[in-house]
Amino acid sequence: MTPASQLDLIDVRVLDGGMATELENLGCDLSGPLWSAHVLREQPKKIAAVHASYLAAGADCILTASYQVSAEAYAEIGLTAGDAAAGLRASVRLAEDARAASHSPRNILIAASLGPFGAALHNGAEYHGNYEIVCDELVAFHARRIAVLAATNADLLAFETVPSLEEAKAIVASLAPFPEIAAWVSFTCKDESRVAHGEAIAECAALLDSAPQIVAVGINCTPPGLVTTLIRQVKEATAKPIVVYPNSGEGWDAERRCWTGSSDPADFGGLAEEWRKAGAQIIGGCCRTGPEHVRAIRVAIG
């Protein structure tokens, strides 16, 4: 990985968008417990195609298709910890290949995506953070994946959709044995001031402000209407770069298992300009966003 001392985010402005959304648009079935990780195993060319679409749209940083990859999640479908490790490594290689094939004049970074412990449970627990697990086990969960990714060519780690202060503390502890690795931590939030588990976003940002390996603090998988106020609170708690990649603003109907509402990429571009002015340095999209949203962000913030 790129040593933390050599990692520079100054030119990173635009992040990519939703991986799962684009895979579904390409005809992939994500109904299994591993979501996009099923496609990573079975149709890796589709992953590469999504990376290529986001690079063409103007992304400066692409996230690997590894959010759902963990030994715990793989075990539930009869796969081994070795299979999970291979999946992590493969996700980085696919991103590397896409970066090389894009011939982009920009300095493209690869952020290895790591979901929270709740993602391994595939029951929505990342949106409340009420885990039946002790802190040491949470640290070990994250450390196992870090150890694999430390030997890859990812530039940094992206701990995404983190629901709680406790899990953020566990992530910081899990990084300690790997002092050369840089990471960002982004939280999913329930309102304009609190992360999903209920702690203040400012408290979470203040914790990460004192963690030397954390190079940016973020907000993701959160309704866009909440983001401006959240950015301001994060900015008051840390001088580190702020990364935001909210969802499209559409709602999920769990009973009918479908998305409701709509999202105009042009409107998303306008919001990106607002987020930039509020203090966000790196802006992208999460669930239900696509290349059109990323292209609108590129146009809006340059």
Which residue segments constitute the domains of the chain, with CATH numbers given? 4-301 (3.20.20.330)
The residue length of the chain stands at 302
Q: Number of helices and strands (H, E) in the chain?
A: 12, 9
Contact by Cβ (8 Å): 54, 291? yes
Q: Is the pLDDT of residue 260 over 70?
A: no
pLDDT of residue 261: 59
- What average pLDDT does this structure show over 230-241? 98
Report the range of poorest mean pLDDT among 10-19, 83-92, 122-131, 213-222.
122-131
The residue written with tokens 């086990």 in the block is 137
Q: Decide: helix, strand or coil at residue 295.
A: helix
- What average pLDDT does this structure show over 97-126? 93
For residue 35, give the DSSP letter: T
- What average pLDDT does this structure show over 181-196? 97
Distance (Å, whole) CA 121 – CA 138: 13
pLDDT of residue 252: 59
- What average pLDDT does this structure show over 227-240? 98
- What average pLDDT does this structure show over 174-180? 97
Burial class (CB in 10 A: 0-12, 13-18, 19+), 140: middle
The fraction of the chain above a pLDDT of 90, given in percent, is: 81
Report the mean per-residue pLDDT for the chain: 93
The model's confidence at residue 126, banded by pLDDT at 50, 70 and 90, is: confident
pLDDT of residue 257: 52
The model's confidence at residue 259, banded by pLDDT at 50, 70 and 90, is: low
End-to-end CA distance of the chain: 28
The fraction of the chain above a pLDDT of 70, given in percent, is: 96
Strand 258-260, strand 251-253: pairing: antiparallel
Q: Which two tokens stand for residue 131?
A: 């885990």
Distances (CA, A) of 128 to 113, 136, 145, 170, 231: 20, 20, 22, 16, 21
In this structure, what is the dihedral angle of CA atoms 14, 20, 23, 28, given to the nearest 10 degrees?
A: 180
Nearest CA to 288 among 245, 248, 246?
Answer: 248
Enter the pTM of the model: 0.95
User: Angle 265-278/291-301 helices, nearest 10 degrees?
Assistant: 40
Q: Is the pLDDT of residue 54 over 60?
A: yes
pLDDT of residue 34: 84
pLDDT of residue 122: 81
pLDDT of residue 32: 81
Burial per residue of 47-57, b for 16 or more beta-carbon CB atoms within 10 angstroms, e otherwise: bbebbbbbbeb
Q: Is the pLDDT of residue 251 over 70?
A: no
Distance (Å, whole) CA 27 – CA 6: 39
The model's confidence at residue 187, banded by pLDDT at 50, 70 and 90, is: very high
Instruction: Tell me the chain's radius of gyration from C-alpha atoms.
Output: 17
- What average pLDDT does this structure show over 6-10? 91
